[in-house]
Amino acid sequence: MHEMSLMESVLEIACETALKNGAVRVKSIRLDIGMLSHVDPEALMFCYDAIRNGSIAEEAELEINRVPGMGWCIDCAKTVPITARFDLCPECSNAHVEMTAGDDMKIRELEVI
């Protein structure tokens, strides 16, 4: 399950960032996870619950925002919604769509005290 290593990295980044900025506790972690990123939010939450004990983020709320897939159609010169990596353009049905959003995961915000 790659969600465990992802969550370990998120927790490490959150705690290190908080400490570097003089904080003593992480109150919340907000993540953006793309719908096309192959990351399961439920598995990520499970992993978070399993590893946060003993860290300065032990009581932090984890909020996950799902980011929809978007692409740029070269043929119609439009940004279009996509639901899979190699979707056809919903406007012109051509296959010249470059993914522009929805395949990444990032820490959007940390709340610390």
What pLDDT score does 26 carry?
A: 98
Spatial distance between the Cα atoms of 31 and 25, rounded to a whole number of angstroms: 18
Provide the CATH topology of domain 2-112: hypothetical protein PF0899 fold (3.30.2320)
What pLDDT score does 1 carry?
A: 61
What pLDDT score does 7 carry?
A: 98
Spatial distance between the Cα atoms of 29 and 79, rounded to a whole number of angstroms: 29
Residue 43's nearest CA partner among 6, 69, 10 is 6
Give the tens place of pLDDT for each residue, 15-29.
999 999 999 999 999
Give the tens place of pLDDT for each residue, 9-61.
999 999 999 999 999 999 999 999 999 999 999 999 999 999 999 999 999 99
- Got the DSSP string for 20-61? HTT-S-EEEEEEEEETTS---HHHHHHHHHHH-TTSTTTT-E
Q: What are the extents of the domains in the chain?
A: 2-112
- Residue 16 tokens read as 């290190």
Give the tens place of pLDDT for each residue, 77-105.
999 999 999 999 999 999 999 999 999 99
pTM (2 decimals)? 0.89
